Chain A
Amino acid sequence: MKAVGIILAGGSTNRLQSLTARRAVAAMPLAGTYRSIDFSLSNMSNSGVGTVAVVTQYSSRSLNIHLSSSKWWDFGRKQGGLYLLNPTITPENAHWYRGTADALIQNLDFIKERHEPYVIVASGDGVYKLDYNQVLEQHAASGAEVTIVCKRMPEVDTERFGVLQLDENNRIVSWAEKQTDDPHGEKIINCGIYVIRRRHLIQMLEEAAREDKYHLVTDMIIPHLSETKIMAYMLDSYWNNIASVESYFACNKDFLDPQLRQFFFKEYPVIHTKVDDNPPAKFNSSARVSNSLIAGGSIINGSVTDSVLFKKVYVGDRSVVKNCILLDDVYVGDDVVLENCIVDNKARISNGTHMVGDPENIPILS
């Protein structure tokens, strides 16, 4: 493989409210049996990237547990494999990662010691399927110094994304990073996946280090758009980012579409995740389930509609769950009504609870 992979999974966000109080965004459970980092990690593995570093910082324990064995993504190798780059104190440095670029600067040794000509930097919270070889090919063919995976989005919350303008050759000519006053309409946004020649990245990082710059996008890319050839690779398949409650809820519900599950989980190459030991889902005689995903280990007695139930969820007698996301190990007692809610893992909803959330402002129960 011509590239080494780096997955930036250290970020936090307050847009996910209490859901990320105890876990990194990259460790957010998705689609019933997966976690968000599985997508980037599987794309790396499926693209033949043999060496991948995951940069962690915020609430890294949740992520470390998920990545405790690299074998699920086929990274258990003598050569290469999966590296976890946690912030660490050295004689030269006593700082946390102060930004995405700083995280790479603090691990410059790792990048320098590799031999692959390219580096693929991806975020740990994107939901997509991509053969990075295609990006590498375009990168080499276009003579770009940096290639950035971009997606045309019909309607998008510009506060959360970088919005780009391209010229007729897909070169990025302007970049509005997380602006509030952008009018609605179709936008081209940055998906947070960068391909760059390794030696060039090292140069850029060394320069940033000298100038005490810490941010990949705002310090190392945006200021150089005019003199550097930074190209867009247009992704035309599904892409989503789950870093807000609304998008997290919506993204999970997207997986109720059989075609999307087919695309991610049945069409080769598929997205991998840590394998568990749960028995199949059990539907008792009073179960009424419609348009819902029910993961292994779950036991259903009541009614479940338009919902995603993660592993080992229990739904009691006569309970009604509608338009909800119930994370791992949620216990829903008898005679409960839950509508338009996200229930965090291990929460116990006691008998008779009645909770109908505002669909415009989904509440999180824990």
Chain B
Amino acid sequence: MKKQMIAMLLAGGQGSRLGALTQGMAKPAVAFGGKYRIIDFPLSNCVNSGVDTVGVLTQYRPLQLNSHIGIGIPWDLDKQFGGVTILPPYERSGDSEWYTGTANAIYQNMEFMEQYNPDYVLILSGDHIYKMDYEDMLARHVSAGAEATIAVMPVPWDEASRYGIMITDDEGRITDFEEKPKNPRSNLASMGIYIFNFQTLKKELQELSTVPNCDFGMHVIPHIHRRGGKLYSYQFNSYWKDVGTLGTYWEANMELTDLVPEFNLYEEFWQIYTSAEAYPPAYIAEGGKAESSIIGDGSNIEGSVKHSVLGANVTVAPGAKVRDSVIMNGVTIGEGAVIRKAIIAENAVIGAGAHIGEGIFATSRLDPRVYNNDITVIGAGSVIPENVTIGKNVAVIGKTTAEDYPNGVLESGDYIVKKGGRA
């Protein structure tokens, strides 16, 4: 038995630039769009593209990811031959190691791939929101006679220097590439999505097996290029969003509330699947308000919600106001609380009368590389006491009490990380 193409989904990264959101889970497990987790997008793309064998490589804090994926039922990936398999790092006699790089992680799972004797292997990451037909990319890979195909996306020229840029000829063959070039020669950015001929991949990974932190972009692709191997690009021209920073994560969520969102979850075609429980519908009480927002099942809205994304089972008490915010599953917002431009992670409890996102921006004292805009982030399971005021660009992780807030205030740029919590 064999599979034409199997997918290997790299889901082991922490995603440290998501700050408090990835304190307890890997980036691909972070909630998105009121119902989903980031990994649902590449996983759903796989099944919608007819790829029914997916290895999910986990490493950083995999609990949430493992329980989300389970045996793959929501994606119809519970299969007799194929389906989804979680691939954590494992111990061997002698040379055990963690996954040290993207290519190294794949190399350590050679046995898994060989079980399916595939012609092609699709390499994916769990960091992006997009809908893509990998079958179309495979058709392009096959017709070009490529050894490896890299999905690329045209980006605005002035942003090109932030990406890995591919320079291609008229046929789409990659002639050169540059990592974050100062003066880009092309605006085609690599999306981190690769199709390899399995035999090519196997040979390359074996040859590079001693390279420390072996990475596709840094080592494997340059190696194929140097020996004159056939590298092709596959141009993708639809919605694709990296949600690797708090700013882009917030933005991508907010875009879903547009009248006609560019990334439309409401189309029948190319559905996104997720593991969710059944809940009753969202309830908007008399006196409650929901405008320019998406609100998950089981939520009870007695206050007012505007331009926000709410997950399942969120409670917004009477008099509370939620504006420009992402509120994840199970969050409770107390009476009269005011939330502005915040990301509040799962099951956090916001006390009555608390104000979040007040004042003006100040540089983060916790980590300016992560917290560098006016979004305030409340970690999963955190507790905010009643009537405190929290500024902009703040991170709160853990169960806080009134004593944690001198004069009842946490200034912009400040943070609280309680014992056991991690920034």
A: residues with CB less than 8 A from B are 31-34, 71-72, 255-256, 258, 261, 264-266, 272-275, 277, 279-300, 308-310
With A258-B300, A265-B298, A285-B291 as contacts: A290 and B284 at CB distance below 8 Å: yes
User: Told that A277-B74, A279-B294 touch, could you supply 12 new A-B pairs with CB distance under 8 A?
Assistant: A258-B300, A261-B280, A266-B313, A275-B277, A277-B273, A279-B34, A280-B310, A282-B294, A283-B291, A287-B291, A290-B286, A294-B283
Q: Which residue of B lies closest to A293 (CB)?
A: B281
Residues of A within 8 A of B288 (CB): 289-290
Q: Which residues of A sit under 8 angstroms from B73, Cβ to Cβ?
A: 71
Chain B nearest CB: distance from A251 CB in Å? 13
Residue of A nearest to B264 (CB): A279
Interface 1/0 per residue, B6-44 and A, CB below 8 Å? 000000000000000000000000000111000000000
Known: A265-B298, A277-B273, A280-B310. A293 touches B280 (CB 8 A): yes
Q: Check A292/B297 contact, CB under 8 A, given A283-B292, A287-B291.
A: no
Q: Does B139 contact A (CB under 8 A)?
A: no
Residues of A within 8 A of B274 (CB): 277
Hey, which chain A residues are within 8 Å of B297, CB to CB? 33, 280-281, 295-296
Residues of A with C-beta under 8 A to B305: 283
Show 24 A/B contacts (Cβ-Cβ < 8 Å), sorted by A.
Answer: A32-B280, A33-B297, A258-B285, A275-B74, A279-B33, A279-B35, A279-B265, A280-B33, A280-B295, A280-B297, A281-B282, A283-B305, A285-B291, A288-B289, A289-B288, A290-B285, A293-B282, A293-B283, A294-B283, A294-B295, A296-B296, A296-B297, A298-B281, A300-B290
Cα–Cα, bound, A175→B273 (Å):
51
- Interface 1/0 per residue, B286-324 and A, CB below 8 Å: 111111111111101000010001111100000000000
Knowing A33-B278, A72-B278, A299-B266, the reply to whether A292 touches B284 (Cβ < 8 A) is: yes
Complex Cα–Cα for A104 and B282 (A): 40
> Chain A residue with minimal CB distance to B73?
A71
CB within 8 A of B294: which of A273, A281, A290?
A281
Cβ of B259 within 8 Å of any chain A Cβ, yes or no, is yes
Task: Output the nearest chain B residue to A300 by Cβ-Cβ distance.
Answer: B290
Q: Which residues of B contact A (CB under 8 A)?
A: 33-35, 73-74, 257, 259, 265-266, 271-274, 276-298, 300, 305, 309-313
- Nearest A residue to B267 via CB reads A279
A285 to B300, CA, bound (A): 19
- Is there an interface contact between A308 and B281, defined as CB atoms closer than 8 Å? yes
Residues of A within 8 A of B266 (CB): 279, 282, 297, 299
What is the CB-to-nearest-CB distance from A309 to chain B, in angstroms, rounded to a whole number?
7
Task: Establish whether residues A289 and B290, one from each chain, have CB atoms under 8 Å apart when the complex forms.
Answer: yes
Known contacts A277-B273, A280-B297, A258 near B278 by CB under 8 Å: no
- Taken together as a complex, chains A and B put the C-alpha atoms of A264 and B272 apart, in Å, by 28
Closest to A296 in B: B297
Q: Contacts of A292 on B, CB cut-off 8 Å? A: 283-284
Closest CB of chain B to A316's CB: distance in Å? 13
Query: Which 9 pairs, one residue from A and one from B, show the smallest C-beta to C-beta distance?
Result: A32-B281, A295-B281, A279-B265, A280-B34, A293-B281, A283-B290, A289-B284, A280-B296, A291-B286
Measured CA separation A300–B35 after assembly (Å) = 18
Q: Is the CB of A291 within 8 A of B285?
A: yes
CB distance from B257 to the nearest CB of A (A): 8
Residues of B within 8 A of A284 (CB): 259, 291-292
Alpha-carbon distance A338/B310, docked complex (angstroms): 28
Contact among B282, B292, B312 with A285 in the assembled complex (CB-CB below 8 Å): B292
Q: Residue A33 contacts which of B272, B281, B300, B309 (CB distance < 8 angstroms)? A: B281
Name B75's closest neighbour in chain A (CB-CB).
A277
| 8 Å CB contact of B295 from A32, A34, A274, A281 | A281
Residue numbers in A under 8 Å from B284 (CB-CB)? 289-292, 294
Residue on A with the closest CB to B297?
A296
User: Given the interface contacts A258-B300, A283-B290, A287-B290, does A277 sit within 8 Å of B282 by beta carbon?
Assistant: no
Among A274, A284, A298: residue with most chain B CB under 10 A = A284
Give the chain A neighbours of B272 by CB distance below 8 A: 277, 279
Q: Write the chain A residue with the least CB distance to B310.
A: A280
Residues of A with C-beta under 8 A to B271:
277
Judging by beta carbons under 8 Å apart, are A265 and B35 in contact? no
How far, in angstroms, from A258 to B313 measured CA to CA in the complex? 12
| Measured CA separation A197–B74 after assembly (Å) | 39
CB < 8 Å: which of B279, B293, B298 contacts A283? B293
Which residue on chain B has the smallest CB distance to residue A286? B291
| CA A309 to CA B298, docked complex, whole Å | 13
A148 to B294, CA, bound (A): 45
Nearest B-chain residue to A311, judged by Cβ:
B281
